A and B are shown apart, each in its own frame.
Chain A
Amino acid sequence: RKEVEQDPGPFNVPEGATVAFNCTYSNSASQSFFWYRQDCRKEPKLLMSVYSSGNEDGRFTAQLNRASQYISLLIRDSKLSDSATYLCVVIGGGGSNYKLTFGKGTLLTVNP
C-alpha cells in the first residue's frame, strides 16, 4: 500500500462548480498534513495545512479524520485559476518527524 494515495483524477469541472479531493495515508504515526498546489512545470506551493478540527481559507476547506487516516479538500465556486494539480502531503511517521511524503496528485481543470 502506498504511503499517500489520492483520487487518480483528472477532474474536469465547469466554473462555479464545487469539487472535492480525497486522500488516505497509511502511517498512523503521521503528524502533519497539507495540501499543495502545483502548476504545470512549476514547483509545489503550499495551499493550506490540514487540522483535525477542519479549517477553511476562503473557498477552500480541508478536513482530517485521523481515525480513518483520511484527508479531504473541498473547493467551492471553482475559478479558472484553480486549474492545477493538487498534492496531498503528509509529514511524520517512519522515524522522521520532518520529511514530506507526497501523494501522486490529482489534476483539476476548470472549464469556462
Chain B
Amino acid sequence: DAMVIQNPRYQVTQFGKPVTLSCSQTLNHNVMYWYQQKSSQAPKLLFHYYDKDFNNEADTPDNFQSRRPNTSFCFLDIRSPGLGDAAMYLCATSSPGRMDGYTFGSGTRLTVV
C-alpha cells in the first residue's frame, strides 16, 4: 500500500550527539512536513518542503535542519539534541488540490539520554 514510512520507530540518542530521522513516501506528494509533538501537546510544525522549496517556521530552533534529496525522502537532522528535544516526530505528506489529503507516518519517538 502507498504510505508514509518513518524510520526508526524509536530512537535513543545521547545528549549533544547528532541524530537523523528519516521519512519516505510512495504517494508522490509534493509537500512533506515535519511535526514535533511533545507529551499532551498539539503537533507543532517545524518545517516543510513544497517540492524542493524549504519553508522553515519562524520559531523552529536552528538545532533542527532538514533535507529532501528527492520527492520520496525527507530527513530531519537534530544537530545537538537536548533533553527538551525528546518528543514524537511526525512526518506527513500532502498534495494541495488532490483529494487524498494528508497522510501521516507512524512517527519516531526520540529519547535523549
Q: Is B80 an interface residue (CB 8 A)?
A: no
Contact B42 A42 (CB under 8 A): no
Docked pose: A44 CA to B105 CA in angstroms: 9
Q: Is A87 an interface residue (CB 8 A)?
A: yes
List residues of A (90-111) whose CB comes within 8 Å of B's CBs.
Answer: 97-105
Contact B90 A43 (CB under 8 A): yes
Docked pose: A99 CA to B88 CA in angstroms: 19
Q: Point out the residues of chain A lying under 8 angstroms from B8, CB to CB.
A: none
Q: Is B86 an interface residue (CB 8 A)?
A: no
Contact B88 A41 (CB under 8 A): yes
Which residue on A lies nearest to B109, using beta carbons? Answer: A41
Q: Is B84 an interface residue (CB 8 A)?
A: no
Which residue on B lies nearest to A3, using beta carbons? Answer: B42
Q: Point out the residues of chain B lying under 8 angstroms from A41, CB to CB.
A: 88, 109
List residues of A (18-60) whose CB comes within 8 Å of B's CBs.
Answer: 41-46
Docked pose: A49 CA to B58 CA in angstroms: 28
Which residue on B lies nearest to A101, using beta carbons? Answer: B45
Q: Point out the residues of chain B lying under 8 angstroms from A104, CB to CB.
A: 40-42
Most B C-beta atoms less than 10 A away, residue of A4, A44, A45, A104: A44
Q: Is B13 an interface residue (CB 8 A)?
A: no
Contact B96 A98 (CB under 8 A): yes
Q: Evaluate whether A97 and B107 lie within 8 angstroms (CB atoms) in the complex, with A46-B101, A103-B42 already known.
A: no
Q: What's the least CB distance linking B87 to chain A, in Å?
A: 12
Chain B residues close to A by CB (< 8 Å):
31, 33, 40-45, 48, 50, 88, 90, 92, 94, 96, 101-102, 104-107, 109
Chain A residues close to B by CB (< 8 Å):
4, 41-46, 87, 97-105
In the assembled complex, 22 residue pairs joining A and B whose CB atoms fall closer than 8 Å, in A order, are A4-B42, A41-B88, A42-B107, A43-B104, A43-B105, A43-B106, A43-B107, A44-B90, A45-B104, A87-B42, A97-B96, A98-B96, A99-B33, A99-B45, A100-B33, A100-B43, A100-B45, A100-B102, A102-B44, A103-B42, A104-B40, A104-B41
